[in-house]
Structure 1
Amino acid sequence: MKVFRSPARHGYAVEVSPFLPNRVACASSQFYGITGCGTLLLLNQTDTEVVLVRSWDWSDGLFDVTWSESNEHVLAAGGGDGSVQLWDTANQDAPLRVAKEHTQEVYAVDWSQTRGENLIVSGSWDRSIRVWDANLSPSLTTLRGHEGVVYSAVWSPHIPGCCASASGDGTLRVWDVKAAACRLAIPAHKTEILSCDWCKYDKNMVATGSVDCSVCVWDLRNVRQPISTLLGHTYAVRRVKFSPFSRTVLASCSYDFTVRFWDVSKEQPLLDTVEHHSEFVCGLDFNLHVPNQVVDCSWDETVKIYTPACLSAATVTHG
């Protein structure tokens, strides 16, 4: 376990670089994001520790971060002031560009992964989702339909121009960006949904994490009921992430201070519960380069990098 401490900065999101196996970005906020400013942390892990490469302060809380899929130096962050910022790790002291079309907090940002596209999606408390080009020029599309706060917006890793979103209205929605249309609205939970993620190996599989403490896994071809309901968290599930190395493995983190690992192919899907934080765990990611390595961040002012024993012991399937 490697730990980085960020005094007076409470972690909201972490993402490992798609290019550099040791590079991690963390979006953090002062005063638990309720007031104060935010800091974008650029971290590097060595064999023994996690070190700060550099950091940038922002005038409002930062709630999510995503790396460019085409430029190893560029990332985007979402702010409490309704802004999406583009940052260059190479040399800039200020953002390359700031787009401020959302009227409330931007809680989700994600960079597209499909070939031939280079787009950013943002989800906001103003109930809208916006799609941007890689330069954050005026937004290309605004997706409306959610009746509550948009907490999560993620691109399909399989289908160009397709993203999913999760909202305080209890629905998971799948969008066709080119048509600016909602193709599917699933009443996935009876309470707020804080997170969603696509399976990396199955274009029809999406997971949702909710205030009702459950993680549900959905087959988009038949949404009458989830294919799996994962129970164990005791407070709201803040983020869900599918493994990049196994079709059926996913992780979830929660306001119950834990990170849980699941395998939906097993009769007893809970593989392990990791309790190494003393506050809400908000950020979670798998390292694309190092099998089974996980990064998380918490309101306890730490970022932690580790390989859970339950995953290193499991057989890795690429099916």
Structure 2
Amino acid sequence: MSRGGGGGGAAPAKPPRAQAFRLPGRHGYAVEFSPYLPGRLACAASQYYGIAGCGTLVVLEQNEAGIHLFRSFDWNDGLFDVTWSENNEHVLITSSGDGSLQIWDTEKPTGPLQVYKEHSQEVYSVDWSQARGEQLVVSGSWDQTAKLWDPAVGQSLCTFKGHEGVIYSTIWSPHIPGCFASASGDQTLRIWDAKSPRPPVIIPAHQAEILSCDWCKYDQNLLVSGAVDCSLKGWDLRNIRQPVFKLFGHTYAIRRLKFSPFHATILASCSYDFTVRFWDFSKPDPLLETVEHHTEFTCGLDLSLHHPSQVADCAWDETVKVYSPSSLIIPS
């Protein structure tokens, strides 16, 4: 996989042309590109805005003609997050409002391979470790705990307690084996070492609920948090007393954010203000572009590992969109 550099550009007058897929009766919560197959992506969606009803995992294929349904799987409660396996191109895990995780195989479209139900409330986050040799998954729940899983084992390996509020996001470090971050309604960002009993590093990152976090792909000490206060803050783990940058522009809560896999200083964020924004935190004017092509809360966001300019997002307006914002297109 090549990892290019560079990027920039002013915001266009119109949003970039997007390929869209309709999710009738389902409201998008999370979307993720396959790490293996260019053009394949998955969306975790829920009926009735995730407040009631069932959920659907939608696996999509994209080509020049558009986006097409490859597989869909229904679950009896809302689905809030999805992560692809890092060792099997056909396997995914979703997290649900009934406190369970489901393992799916796109080659076996009859139902989940396994269901793990240990959380006592909604599971809002699930992530598969990218570290070599690890087969670890972390989940974060409204029951204020994170749990560590090996998909080959029928129960959780351990439970991480300490947050005093809902956990909205749990994300593995792409650099440090066994290390993950969690973002919570208790206004803290916490850094955990799954291989050590030591207490986590606690960062009082915002004076508001923190809904999302992500790690920089190029700097193992840098991660960013996004919160209900509409701000993003960058944190250097070597000195957590003050953020190394702050980004402002969203007008409602930031629901999800992702660092670029190709650009060291670029990240994207989506929000309840219906927009996706692209930032370069190294620039004096960091906001590169604002994309507004949804008509409801924009909840899911991912940047392709295969195409440097490709982005996917999903929203409560029952659509998934794949597009290339001008700020990520490298001039030839």
TM-score range, shorter chain: over 0.9
- 2:80 counterpart residue number: 63
1:5 aligns with 2:11: no
- Cα drift, residue 180 of structure 1: 4.1
Amino acid aligned to 1:5: R
> Distance between the aligned counterparts of 1:10 and 1:180, measured in 2?
39
Change (3 A) 1:314 1:219: farther
Residues 1:35 and 2:35 are matched in the alignment: no
Q: Which residue of 1 aligns with 2:284?
A: 267
Aligned to 1:189: 206
Q: Is the 8 A contact 1:97 1:136 kept in 2?
A: no
Aligned equivalents of 2:193 and 2:328: distance in 1? 34
Within the candidate set 171, 195, 220, 2:188 is matched to 171
In structure 2, what is the equivalent of residue 116 of structure 1? 133
Task: Give how far 1:314 is off.
Answer: 6.9
2:116 matches 1:99: yes
Q: Which moved more, 1:128-137 or 1:65-74?
A: 128-137
Residue 91 of structure 1: how far off its partner (Å): 1.5
**What TM-score do the two structures reach when normalised by structure 1?**
0.97
C-alpha contact 2:73 2:109 (8 A) present in aligned 1: no
Question: In structure 2, do the counterparts of structure 1 residues 142 and 180 end up closer, same or farther at CA, with 3 Å as the change threshold?
Answer: farther
Per the alignment, residue 164 of structure 2 pairs with 147
Distance in 2 (alpha carbons) for counterparts of 1:181 and 1:129: 15
Say whether residues 1:277 and 2:332 are aligned partners: no
Q: Contact 1:141–1:180 (CA<8 Å) still a contact in 2?
A: no
Q: Map Cα deviations across residues 246-265 of structure 1 (whole Å, 9 max, x no partner).
A: 11000000000000000001
Q: CA deviation at 1:242?
A: 0.2
Secondary structure, in 3 states, of the residue corresponding to 1:221? coil
Matches within 5 A, 1:1-319: 1-135=18-152, 137-313=154-330
Partners of 2:230 and 2:90 lie apart in 1 by: 36
The alpha-carbon deviation at position 181 of structure 1 amounts to 3.7
Find the aligned partners of 2:102 and 2:93 in 1 and give their Cα distance. 5
What is the CA distance between 1:311 and its match in structure 2? 1.2
The answer for unaligned runs of 5 or more in structure 1 is: none
Q: Is the Cα contact below 8 Å between 2:54 and 2:75 reproduced in 1?
A: yes
Contact 1:142 1:180 in 2 (8 A): no
1:209 maps to amino acid: G
Is the contact made by 1:2 and 1:48 (CA closer than 8 Å) also made in structure 2? no
User: Once superposed, what is the RMSD of the aligned Cα atoms?
Assistant: 1.0
**Relative to structure 1, is the Cα distance of residues 114 and 300 closer, same or farther in structure 2, using a 3 angstrom cutoff?**
same
Task: Quote the offset at 1:92 in angstroms.
Answer: 3.3
Letter matched to residue 123 of structure 1 = G
Per the TM alignment, residue 313 of structure 1 is displaced from its structure 2 partner at its CA by 4.3
CA offset at residue 134 of structure 1?
2.2
- Which has the higher mean CA deviation after the structures are superposed, 165-174 or 84-93? 84-93
Distance in structure 2 (CA, Å) of the matches to 1:181 and 1:38: 37
What is the TM-score when the length of structure 2 is the normalising length? Answer: 0.93
CA distance in 2, matches of 1:298, 1:206: 24
- The 1:180–1:272 alpha-carbon spacing in structure 2 relative to 1, beyond 3 Å, is same
Question: Aligned residues: percent identity?
Answer: 65
Corresponding residue SS for 1:3: strand
Residues 28, 299 of structure 2: 8 Å contact kept: yes
Measure how far apart 1:48 and its partner are.
2.5
Higher relative contact order (CA 8 A, sep 6+): 2
